Amino acid sequence: MHQQKGKKILIYLFLFLIVGSINNTVLTKIKFEKITSIQISGLNQNQNINILNSIKELNLKNIFFLNGNEISKIITSNSLVENYEIFKKYPNNLDIKIERTNFLAKINNNGKIFLIGTNGKLSDVKFSDKELPFIFGKPKIDEFIKFAYVIEQSKLSFNQIKNLYFFPSKRWDLELKNNIILKLSKDHTKFSLDQALEFINDRNFNDIKVVDARIKNQIILND
C-alpha cells in the first residue's frame, strides 16, 4: 500500500512539473526524437516492405508516445502473420519481429482456392508451393482449426494426408496418401482417430482400404 501511494505521489509530482511549470526553461528544451528507423523481419522482403510502408503512413512521432494499437491493426491484417513482437530501441528505433503462419491445407472458398494457416486465416495460394491436403466440404475455418489440433495431438502427420472430407453432420473423413480412408466419429473424434491409427499401423492389416471408426469402441474394416 505504501509503495502504491509513493508511486502515485511521484506520478502526480511529474504531471505537476510538466503541466504546472509552464515557465520552466529546462522542460521547454526537452525534445523527443521522431522515430527514424523501423526494422521488420519474418516474412519475405516484399511482404516486410508492404507492412513497413503502411506503418510509415501513420506518421509516427516518437517512441515514448507510441500508439501500439494502430501498428497492431496493420500487422494482424496480414494473413501471413501468426505472431509478432515489437521491440523499442530507445531513443528512436523500432524492431518488429514476425512469426509466419504455417499452412495446413487448401480449401475452395466461393469458387477460389485458398490456403488455411494455423492462424485461422485464408491466404492466396501464391504464398506456398508446398503440397498440402485439400478440404472437400464447407467447414467453418474455426471448425477446421479445431480438427487440425486433434490431428496434431495424434500420431498422424499432415504430411500423410491427401484429402480431408467434411460432412454437414460435422463429421470428418481422412484420405491418406497411401489411399486408406479413415472414417471418424463426430462426437469422439480424437478417440476414433487414435483407434483407427492403431489398425493402419498394425502389420497384420496390410490390405486395409477403409477404417470405419464412427461407432465408439467399434472398428469396421473394408478391403
For the stretch 141-193, pLDDT in tens is: 999 999 999 999 999 999 999 999 999 999 999 999 999 999 999 999 999 99
Q: State the pLDDT at residue 31.
A: 60
Distance CA 211, CA 192 (A): 10
Closest CA to 173 of 154, 192, 157, 200: 192
Q: State the pLDDT at residue 187.
A: 92
What are the tens digits of pLDDT across the range 29-76? 456 678 888 999 999 999 999 999 999 988 887 777 777 889 999 999
- Average pLDDT, stretch 13-24? 49
Q: State the pLDDT at residue 223.
A: 59
Q: How confident is the model at residue 1 (pLDDT cuts 50, 70, 90)?
A: very low
Q: How confident is the model at residue 21 (pLDDT cuts 50, 70, 90)?
A: very low
Secondary-structure class of domain 29-100 per CATH = alpha beta
Q: Is the pLDDT of residue 7 over 50?
A: no
User: 154 versus 13: which is more confidently predicted?
Assistant: 154
Q: State the pLDDT at residue 161.
A: 97
The whole-model pTM stands at 0.79
What are the tens digits of pLDDT across the range 65-109? 777 889 999 999 999 999 999 998 888 889 999 999 999 999 999
Q: State the pLDDT at residue 3.
A: 45
| Domain limits, the chain | 29-100, 103-222
Q: State the pLDDT at residue 177.
A: 95
Secondary-structure class of domain 103-222 per CATH = alpha beta
Q: State the pLDDT at residue 27.
A: 44
Count Cα atoms within 13 angstroms, Cβ side, for 53: 6
Distance CA 182, CA 151 (A): 12
Q: State the pLDDT at residue 66.
A: 79
Q: State the pLDDT at residue 97.
A: 97
